[in-house]
Homo-oligomer: A and B are copies of this chain.
């Protein structure tokens, strides 16, 4: 029989346990934090009617859509983000759900783009949103969730950059450039990449600004000092524009609320030059950078929008949300040594050593599990050194070793595999002492 070459499609990934274990752990942590604020889980189908998906993203996302005709002749597509499905979902169910509606959604999305380092055709999104309210409490909460998430993951050095689109819009309104805001913001967004001079050129050539106007806009990126300093410097810039003033007030309240909830000042940065490409955002915008790896870009971004589901319902649904960049963050965590490269979730390795005593191994393993210890029993009575090599390769720290003499004595050897030390523990009356010894090594 000829075999079929086992391979995966380019841009798609197999996750072996060593990659999947930290991935599952990060997802669980995100869930815990989302839940602690009352965000609830939802899920939506992988496939949607094509008309639902088309035309919501850019021409580029339309081109990248995986779409086809199904068995029933329907044109269908695979979701390319979780925002379009959320919009469709909200339009369909908001009557049942009521507002405010807070949800998280952690699921894969697909884009047929050219694969490159760190970009995949199938990747996870990890979003949380609050829909149906314009309250500033939700803006503040978005910042708090990101803050708690970073700490829960084990990242201490990070900065959440905050801005409000209305500050920029207020400025543009005063300059008479509001109509061209998309072009202006697109230029401004390139600041970290191409520098102030080139941004000013683009504002003039592409967005119809005068050189003075471009310079005034670029001043935004030079504001510095404490939060209060920046707010003070901004005040005259937006004075007279209702939009700009409300944006400034929002920013000021978000900072005060975050401080009340215990976020330290240095973890928040006012950066009124960040615009985030999407037209979609209309109020607060956030990005999150890692202190030790600023170059990888934002690991958690989002913002406020006025109307989530206008394509699917006449009901106006304002909201705010953000998305955790799972792949980017996992790569960062690995680089920062925050994932420890283990390839097993079990805590204890139990060699199967004495071939005649399988039932005794099963009994003790079962007792340890009942006490909350995760135990992998090797399935075959191979030589002990071979089994311990297997345990080593998988990163086990503890082995519980029993052979004829231990069974006779009613004891087990608990081996610290890293320290290569071991102690004999009595288990004739139960596994309590063994569990204590195991926990001691694991706490190591």
Contacts and interface: CB of A to CB of B under 8 A. Distances in A.
Contacts of A69: 68
A399 to B, nearest CB: 12
Interface stretch (A225-233, A266-274, A310-318): A310-318
A98 B359 CA distance: 25
B137 A358 contact: yes
A369 B88 CA distance: 32
Given A6-B312, A47-B122, A35 B362 contact: no
A67 B78 CA distance: 12
- The SS class assigned to the A binding surface is mixed
Interface in A202-227: none
Interface in A295-348: 309-314, 343-346
A163 B89 CA distance: 45
Given A66-B70, A97-B16, A4 B346 contact: no
A281 interface: no
Contact of A4 (B35, B68, B311): B311
A44 interface: yes
Interface residues of A, number: 111
A379 B98 contact: no
A28 to B, nearest CB: 8
A279 interface: no
Nearest to A78: B46
Interface in A94-145: 96-98, 100, 102-103, 108, 110, 112, 122, 130, 133, 135-138, 140-141, 144
A264 interface: no
A42 B66 contact: no
A20 to B, nearest CB: 4
B37 A14 contact: no
Contact of A312 (B5, B21, B369, B380): B5
Contacts of A393: 98
Given A4-B311, A345-B40, A379 B14 contact: no
B47 A12 contact: yes
A4 B52 contact: yes
Interface string A80-94: 000000001101110
Contacts of A93: 14, 16
Nearest to A360: B260
Interface in A19-62: 20-21, 23-24, 31, 35-49, 51-52
A7 B88 CA distance: 7
A262 interface: yes
Contacts of A47: 9, 12, 66, 110, 122
Contacts of A97: 16-17
Contact of A8 (B20, B45, B136): B45
B43 A15 contact: yes
A1 B55 CA distance: 14
A278 interface: no
A217 B388 CA distance: 46
20 contacts: A1-B310, A8-B45, A12-B47, A14-B89, A17-B41, A23-B43, A37-B369, A37-B377, A38-B344, A38-B374, A40-B344, A46-B108, A46-B122, A47-B122, A71-B112, A135-B379, A137-B380, A256-B359, A257-B358, A261-B366
